[in-house]
């Protein structure tokens, strides 16, 4: 009877093992959480911050790069034509960033959802 209980407890602990990889395999997150042994160590904090910076770059990077390229093209145009109008750079950047944000919103939301689910899944496991 005792050996059966020990086996049942091991099975219970094995069922509590969470593999967050199903949410994060696409984005190379490497979280495997065991609910009974995970501690908030320096390595865990560094990994979370590293992934947060990664997601910031993935989500905001394309918009910032687009804004940089559009500003550069417009400033070259202004230098070539001697037009010194401040709103000439602002309005096209605003319009293009808005359009790209609307088009890329599903991708951006998917990445934010993946990171949020990963963090929320880790919360009960950390001690």
**Greater pLDDT, 31 or 44:** 44
pLDDT of 4: 44
SS3 call for 101:
helix
- List the structure tokens of 91: 């309005």
- Tell me the percentage of the chain whose pLDDT exceeds 90: 41
- List the structure tokens of 23: 């949410």
Query: What are the tens digits of pLDDT across the range 7-19?
Result: 344 444 444 444 4
Residue 127 to residue 117: CA distance in whole angstroms: 18
- List the structure tokens of 79: 């230098």
- Tell me the percentage of the chain whose pLDDT exceeds 70: 70
Query: What are the tens digits of pLDDT across the range 18-30?
Result: 444 554 455 455 5
Q: What residue segments make up the domains of the chain, in order of their start?
A: 2-125
Strands (E) in the chain, as ranges, are: 17-19, 32-34
């Amino acid at each position: 009877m005792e050996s059966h209980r020990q086996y049942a407890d091991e099975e219970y602990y094995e069922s509590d093992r969470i593999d967050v990889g199903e949410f994060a395999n696409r984005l190379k997150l490497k979280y495997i959480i065991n609910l009974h042994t995970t501690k908030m160590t320096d390595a865990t904090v560094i990994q979370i911050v590293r992934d947060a910076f990664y997601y910031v770059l993935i989500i905001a990077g394309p918009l910032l790069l687009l804004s940089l390229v559009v500003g550069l093209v417009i400033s070259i145009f202004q230098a070539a034509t001697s037009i010194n109008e401040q709103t000439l750079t602002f309005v096209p950047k605003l319009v293009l960033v808005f359009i790209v944000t609307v088009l890329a919103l599903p991708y951006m939301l998917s990445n934010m959802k993946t990171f949020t689910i990963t963090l929320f899944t880790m919360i009960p496991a950390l001690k």
